[in-house]
Each structure stands twice: as structure tokens, then as C-alpha cells.
Amino acid sequence: MGLDKVKDELAKNLPHGYQKMLGIARALAVKPKLLLLDEPSLGLAPIVVEHLGEVIKDINQEGVSVFLVEQNIPLALQVATMGYALQVGRIVLEGKIDEFKSTEIVRRAYLGA
């Protein structure tokens, strides 16, 4: 998780990105089968978001299912295998992420294309 360099610091003194990683690490400490993440990239610097994406992929590859709610669509498309697009609280699109990426709804509404 990249927390080894701050292992001697109090959680309240950690920068925001490290606090988010610590929260994920704490959730993983109980060895869940499912990890729920709600907007984990919110307020993070782009370089930290990139690291977060790798962490999420690694968690999933270790056998933990991840349910990610995220408005950072490039991050979500990078780590997801399935996608659901909501519009005014309703699911307007669902499917495998490769198919999801190529739909007109996603390109127009979320990717600005």
C-alpha cells in the first residue's frame, strides 16, 4: 500500500493520500471477500490516483471483489471489469468494461468525446 515510509506517524498527521491508503489497509486487515470503495480518488493528486488504481487492481487480483463508486471515469475504466452508468439515480447502461468503454453514452456523457 506504500505505507511503510510513514509507519511511525500518527494517522491524523498523515497527508490526505496516505490517510486514504490507510483506510483501505484497515478495511483489508479483516480479510474481506468484498471491499466497498466510495469515491476513493476524491481530493487526491493525479499521481496518487494513479497509484490508487494499481492498488485497487492488486487487491482484486488477490481475490477480493471490489465494488467501486467513482466519478473519476478514467480511473474506473482502468480498474473495472464490469460497469454501471447512472443518470439521475437510474442505471442507463451496464456491461463488461470493454463494451462499456466503446458506447456512445459513455463517450459523450463521461469522456467528453
How does pLDDT run across 11-43, given as a tens digit for each residue? 888 888 888 888 999 999 999 999 999 999 999
Q: Domain spanning 4-80 has what CATH number?
A: 3.40.50.300
Question: What pLDDT shows up at residue 21?
Answer: 86
Q: Please give the mean pLDDT across all residues of the chain.
A: 87
Q: Where are the domains of the chain?
A: 4-80
Condensed to tens digits (0 to 9), the pLDDT of residues 85-97 reads: 888 889 988 899 8
Residue given cell 488504481 in the structure block: 53
Are the C-beta atoms of 21 and 56 separated by less than 8 Å? no
- pLDDT at site 103: 82
Is pTM beyond 0.95? Reply is no
- Sort 22 into a burial class: Cβ within 10 Å, 0-12 / 13-18 / 19+: middle
Section 69-85 average pLDDT: 90
Alpha carbon 16 to chain centroid distance? 15
pLDDT tops 80 at residue 58: yes
Indicate the SS3 state at residue 40: coil
Q: What is the pLDDT of residue 111?
A: 63
